[in-house]
Structures are given as structure tokens and as C-alpha cells.
Amino acid sequence: MSEANAYSCIIVDDDEIDRLTTLSFVKKYPFLSVKGVYDNAAAALAEIEQTRPHILLLDVDMDGTNGLELRRQLLQVDACIFITSYPDYALESFELAALDFLVKPVKTDRFAASMQRLEEYLLLRKKSALLDHSLNGDTIFIKDGHEHIKIKAADILYLEALKDYTGIITRQKKHCVLASLGNLLKDPSFSSFIRVHRSYAVQKHFIDKITPQEIHISGISIPVGRSYKKALEKIIM
């Protein structure tokens, strides 16, 4: 990946050796481009408006504004990884949507695992199809990168919850939209779907067989959640 296409990141750590260590690690990954290295949160904040990074690599325990407080002010940044000597901060860091939490001294293989997770996450965000709008209730336009893909609602087999995303599965392809399953089902285009599990909703006319534990759709088995069985009973009756 060229530097122009790389994801920008900033490093904030008040320990010079730790800053240089993190910087040396990051330079091994071509998909990242370091736009700033700072020894305190105030200096980093002053530059954020200009750099607008995709990733934050933050120490937690720093004088003045600590890493957690800095992240709280920068929740709009796509990804944040905390690197700290204090494992007790882990729970609070994940409450601030941290992608990962590394404990110093960071080992090479642990950093590599974190970078793999980061790259996969960024790729999902970049390539994920975003639900753009519906047309006449039977056609859905999916925004994938700079292209718009038209999908007939009647061709969708089922929907699968993927945390903040939802998979839209057709016979030909699996798309991914940045919308929760619950919110997606509120769209009139998905009125023919029934939720059968916390993570799944299926298109009614594709159901081949229903058992107490599963629904079969075009050779695919979808689990049935206990709290959704009553809704299925209405289909059978």
C-alpha cells in the first residue's frame, strides 16, 4: 500500500523510550502512516484538527490529560489502541470503544496480532456496503466504496447481525451495511423479514423448513432463538 493510501495514525506517550518503541513497531506495517508523535495529550489535540487521523495509539497514564480522557474527546476517530503499563485500565478503555489494549512491555508478536486485527477492522469499514436508500420498497441501493449496487429486496435470503454492521446475504454475494439489524428491520423494504434470533432475520418466502431449533433456507441452517419462537408459530399456523 502506498503512503498516500495508508491509514494515518498518531502516537501519544509521555515516555520517550516507549514512544520510540511504538514508532519502530508501526513503521513495519505499510498500511499505516504516522502523522504525529506526541509526548502529551494537549499537544496531540492541538494538531488533531489538521491531521484528522484514522487511528490513535495512546498511552493511558500521562500527566495532565490522560489517554482515556483524550480518547473521550476523540471518539470520532475510527480506531483506538491503548498501550499502557497498567492492565487495570482495560475495562474502562473498552467502554471507550478501544479496538485493543496492550500492556507494556509490548512483545513483537502481540503487537503483530493487534495490527492484524486493526487492518481487518479498517478494511471492513472501507469496503463495507453502506445502506444508502430504498426505492419503491422493493429495490435497495447499497453504497460500496464509490459505487452503488442495486439489490432486489426479494432476492435477499437473510440478514445477519455483525455488531454495528449487518450482513445482507443473497445467493450471489454477502454484502455488509453499517446499520444494526434492529434498525434495518424498521425500514419498509424489510417488511417481509421475520427476526428468528438475536443475530438473524429471514425472508419469509425463502423458508423451506422449520424445526424447533432451526430454519432451513436454500440449504442454509439458521438458528432459532427461544424468545423468537412465538413469532415463528404465527407463520406455521
Look at the chain and count its residues. Answer: 237
Residue type at 99? L
Identify residue 146 by its one-letter amino acid code. Answer: H
What whole-number distance in Å separates Cα of residue 81 and Cα of residue 90?
Answer: 11
111 and 170 in a single domain? The answer is: no
- Please name the residue that has the C-alpha cell 417488511: 191
Domains held by the chain: number: 2
Give the per-residue pLDDT at 80: 96
Q: Which residue has the cell 426505492?
A: 135
pLDDT of residue 119: 93
Q: Are residues 70 and 102 in the same domain?
A: yes
One domain for residues 17 and 117: yes
- Any idea what DSSP says for residue 28? T
Query: In terms of domains, do 141 and 118 share one?
Result: no
Under 8 Å between Cβ of 160 and 217:
no
Indicate whether 63 and 138 sit together in one domain.
Answer: no
C-alpha cell at 83: 498501550
Joined grid coordinates for residue 157: 435470503
Tell me if 193 sits within 8 A of 182, measured CB to CB.
Answer: no
DSSP 213: S
User: Same structural domain for residues 208 and 118?
Assistant: no
pTM of the model as a whole: 0.57
Distance CA 228, CA 24 (A): 51
Query: So what's the pLDDT on residue 101?
Result: 96
Cβ atoms within 10 Å of 7's Cβ, excluding its own: 21
For residues 106 and 35, membership in a common domain is answered with yes
221/200 Cα distance (integer angstroms)? 11
Q: Which of 96, 126, 156 is the last residue of a domain?
A: 126
Which helix (H) or strand (E) segment holds residue 73: the answer is helix 67-73
Residue 101 shares a structural domain with residue 170: no
**pLDDT on residue 135:** 46
Q: What is the CATH number of the domain that holds 200?
A: 2.40.50.1020
Grid cell digits, residue 158:
437473510
Q: Which of 68, 98, 126 is the last residue of a domain?
A: 126
Do 114 and 147 share a domain, yes or no?
no
Check if the beta carbon of residue 14 is closer than 8 Å to that of residue 59.
yes
185 and 221 inside one domain = yes
Domain of residue 195: give its range: 130-236
Same structural domain, 135 and 39? no
| Cβ partners under 8 Å of residue 15, min gap 6 | 59
- Single out the residue in 78, 109, 126 at which a domain terminates: 126
Write the CATH number for 114. 3.40.50.2300
pLDDT at 144: 59
Segments in the chain below pLDDT 70: 1-5, 126-138, 143-147, 234-237
Q: What ranges make up the beta strands (E) of the chain?
A: 7-12, 32-38, 55-58, 79-84, 100-103, 130-135, 139-144, 147-152, 156-162, 165-170, 174-177, 193-197, 200-203, 207-210, 214-217, 220-223
Q: Are 171 and 184 found together in one domain? A: yes
CA distance 11 to 26: 10
What's the pLDDT score for residue 147?
66
